[in-house]
Amino acid sequence: MYAIIQSGGKQYRVTEGMKLKLEKLSGDEGQDVTIGEVLAVSDGTTTTIGSPYIGGASVTGKIMSHGKARKVTVFKYKRRKDYKKKVGHRQHFTELLIEKIQTEAPHGA
Protein backbone atom coordinates (compact mmCIF):
# COMPACT_ATOMS: atom_id res chain seq x y z
CA MET A 1 0.00 0.00 0.00
CA TYR A 2 1.29 3.45 -0.84
CA ALA A 3 0.04 7.02 -0.76
CA ILE A 4 0.99 10.25 -2.47
CA ILE A 5 1.09 13.17 -0.03
CA GLN A 6 1.75 16.87 -0.33
CA SER A 7 3.96 18.70 2.17
CA GLY A 8 5.94 21.90 1.82
CA GLY A 9 4.75 22.45 -1.75
CA LYS A 10 6.19 19.10 -2.88
CA GLN A 11 4.65 15.69 -3.49
CA TYR A 12 6.02 12.44 -2.07
CA ARG A 13 5.19 8.76 -2.64
CA VAL A 14 5.23 7.07 0.78
CA THR A 15 4.76 3.56 2.14
CA GLU A 16 4.43 2.35 5.73
CA GLY A 17 7.79 1.97 7.48
CA MET A 18 9.52 4.41 5.11
CA LYS A 19 11.88 7.18 6.29
CA LEU A 20 11.54 10.47 4.46
CA LYS A 21 13.04 13.97 4.60
CA LEU A 22 10.45 16.76 4.32
CA GLU A 23 10.57 20.53 4.57
CA LYS A 24 10.89 21.47 8.25
CA LEU A 25 7.77 20.66 10.28
CA SER A 26 6.98 22.06 13.70
CA GLY A 27 7.20 19.60 16.57
CA ASP A 28 9.73 17.84 18.76
CA GLU A 29 11.59 14.61 18.09
CA GLY A 30 9.45 11.58 18.91
CA GLN A 31 6.19 13.50 18.40
CA ASP A 32 3.49 12.12 16.07
CA VAL A 33 2.48 14.13 13.00
CA THR A 34 -0.63 13.69 10.86
CA ILE A 35 -0.61 14.82 7.22
CA GLY A 36 -4.13 15.24 5.83
CA GLU A 37 -3.17 16.35 2.33
CA VAL A 38 -3.37 12.93 0.64
CA LEU A 39 -3.59 13.12 -3.14
CA ALA A 40 -3.83 9.40 -3.98
CA VAL A 41 -3.90 6.01 -2.24
CA SER A 42 -3.29 2.58 -3.77
CA ASP A 43 -3.59 -0.83 -2.10
CA GLY A 44 -2.17 -2.80 -5.03
CA THR A 45 -5.47 -3.54 -6.79
CA THR A 46 -7.42 -0.28 -6.60
CA THR A 47 -6.19 3.29 -6.75
CA THR A 48 -8.19 6.21 -5.32
CA ILE A 49 -7.37 9.66 -6.63
CA GLY A 50 -8.62 12.80 -4.90
CA SER A 51 -9.74 16.08 -6.39
CA PRO A 52 -7.46 17.54 -5.10
CA TYR A 53 -7.39 15.63 -1.77
CA ILE A 54 -9.07 12.43 -0.57
CA GLY A 55 -11.59 13.23 2.16
CA GLY A 56 -10.91 11.41 5.43
CA ALA A 57 -7.55 10.03 4.31
CA SER A 58 -4.41 10.77 6.32
CA VAL A 59 -0.84 9.65 6.82
CA THR A 60 0.58 9.38 10.34
CA GLY A 61 4.28 9.55 11.07
CA LYS A 62 6.77 10.11 13.86
CA ILE A 63 9.42 12.84 13.82
CA MET A 64 12.82 11.13 13.98
CA SER A 65 15.08 14.20 13.75
CA HIS A 66 15.53 17.75 12.53
CA GLY A 67 18.58 18.86 10.61
CA LYS A 68 20.13 20.81 7.79
CA ALA A 69 20.83 19.48 4.31
CA ARG A 70 24.16 19.76 2.50
CA LYS A 71 25.28 23.24 1.51
CA VAL A 72 24.26 24.51 -1.91
CA THR A 73 26.59 27.14 -3.37
CA VAL A 74 25.04 29.89 -5.50
CA PHE A 75 27.58 31.78 -7.61
CA LYS A 76 26.54 34.73 -9.78
CA TYR A 77 28.99 36.18 -12.29
CA LYS A 78 28.86 38.72 -15.11
CA ARG A 79 31.88 38.79 -17.35
CA ARG A 80 33.77 42.05 -17.91
CA LYS A 81 31.58 43.87 -15.34
CA ASP A 82 33.54 43.08 -12.17
CA TYR A 83 30.44 41.43 -10.66
CA LYS A 84 30.83 38.26 -8.59
CA LYS A 85 28.59 37.08 -5.78
CA LYS A 86 28.92 33.83 -3.86
CA VAL A 87 26.23 32.74 -1.40
CA GLY A 88 25.74 29.44 0.42
CA HIS A 89 22.45 27.96 1.67
CA ARG A 90 21.55 24.99 3.88
CA GLN A 91 17.89 23.94 3.85
CA HIS A 92 16.26 22.83 7.10
CA PHE A 93 14.49 19.44 7.02
CA THR A 94 12.55 17.03 9.22
CA GLU A 95 13.14 13.28 8.98
CA LEU A 96 9.82 11.44 9.32
CA LEU A 97 9.08 7.74 9.83
CA ILE A 98 5.76 6.84 8.15
CA GLU A 99 3.77 4.63 10.53
CA LYS A 100 0.24 4.37 9.13
CA ILE A 101 -1.76 5.20 6.01
CA GLN A 102 -5.48 5.65 6.75
CA THR A 103 -7.98 5.81 3.92
CA GLU A 104 -11.02 6.88 5.94
CA ALA A 105 -11.84 8.54 9.25
CA PRO A 106 -11.39 6.32 12.33
CA HIS A 107 -14.55 4.86 13.86
CA GLY A 108 -16.07 6.79 16.75
CA ALA A 109 -14.79 10.14 15.53
In a domain, 77, yes or no: yes
Instruction: Tell me if 61 sits within 8 A of 71, measured CB to CB.
Output: no
Read off the pLDDT of residues 55-103 as tens digits, 9 standing for 90 and up: 999 999 999 999 999 999 999 999 999 999 999 999 999 999 999 999 8
In a domain, 109, yes or no: no
In a domain, 107, yes or no: no
Burial of 106 (0-12, 13-18, 19+ CB in 10 A): exposed
- Residue 104 DSSP class: S
Read off the pLDDT of residues 21-54 as tens digits, 9 standing for 90 and up: 999 999 999 999 999 999 999 988 999 999 999 9
CA 17 to chain centre: 14
In a domain, 47, yes or no: yes
In a domain, 35, yes or no: yes
In a domain, 37, yes or no: yes
Within 13 A of 86's CA, how many CA atoms are on the CB side? 2
In a domain, 23, yes or no: yes
Instruction: Tell me if 69 sits within 8 A of 55, measured CB to CB.
Output: no
Containing domain of residue 42, as a range? Answer: 2-102
pTM of the model: 0.81
Question: Structural domain tally of the chain?
Answer: 1
